[in-house]
Amino acid sequence: MAVKELSDGIFEVQKSGKSFLATKNAVPGSAVYGERLVEMEGDEYRIWDARRSKLAAMVLKKMKVPIKSDSRVLYLGAASGTTVSHVSDMLTDGIVYAVEFSPRTMRELIQLCDTRSNIIPILADANHPTSYAHIVEQVDVVFQDVAQPNQAQIAAVNCEQFLKGDGYLLLSIKARSIDTVASPAKIFKEEIKKLEKEFETRFQVLNKQDLAPFHEDHLGLIAQMITR
């Protein structure tokens, strides 16, 4: 049995000859979505399944996740908080602003916030960042997983409003929410072109990886804003 920290708050746990991705449970004894809890060296870890999380898939694809323990993170497309809960574990001294526009899903997310004070739930449409500008401060990272055809535009308006000068955008691009017929490779190329156009020259792609086999037809992308 061994535990290794891969980056701030993200761990590889080895148990019974197998290795798992995990985060240290901020609420020991409590699972969020039925994930396994394992005790290692006096701490409790929550196993993080890459098939249920684009962010976990990015980590397993060796993408360097720029989230630090004290980061401010704006998370667009929070759903009921599967991935947000792991981000919450990682942010021992930070905050995640979790935006979701489905009221039904938001009810589950709010329950999660009862025990995790570093998640700020926001019921809003990510197309309209001014509607939550009174709640969200300037952030170090924008993470987006909204699966919408206009995701490049959504990323751009939110980064414009909230992302610090040299902050990072982490984006999950779902090919099939943009075009159901064209090849994913062609769609991803066009989406990156759209992002470059939206962000003009202030945007530098650091890494992009196909998230298969964890998520078919999804591209994970990490970009950094360039301070003018």
Ligand X SMILES: C[S@@+](CC[C@H](N)C(=O)[O-])C[C@H]1O[C@@H](n2cnc3c(N)ncnc32)[C@H](O)[C@@H]1O
Binding residues for ligand X, rule: CB under 6 A, are 53, 77, 79, 82-83, 99-102, 105, 125-127, 145-148
Axis-axis angle for helices 103-113, 82-90 (nearest 10): 30
| Least gap, CB of 114 to ligand X (angstroms) | 18
Contact 151, 173 (CB under 8 A): yes
Closer of 3 and 33 to ligand X (Cβ): 33
Minimum distance, C-beta of residue 127 to ligand X, in the bound complex (Å)? 5
Nearest alpha carbon to residue 215 among 57, 78, 62? 57
Do residues 64 and 222 touch, judged by C-beta distance below 8 A? yes
In the bound state with ligand X, the residue whose beta carbon lies nearer, of 155 and 225, is: 155
The CB-of-42 to ligand X minimum distance in angstroms stands at 28
Cα angle 21-26-31, degrees, rounded to a multiple of 5? 70
Q: Output 3 or 161, the one with its CB closest to ligand X.
A: 161
What region does 26 belong to: left with phi over 0, alpha with psi -120 to 50, or beta? alpha
Min dist. Cβ of residue 139 to ligand X (A)? 16
Q: What is the rounded distance in angstroms from the CA atom of residue 120 to the CA atom of residue 87?
A: 12
Which residue of this chain has its Cβ atom nearest to ligand X in the complex? 77
Nearer to ligand X, 20 or 214 (CB): 214
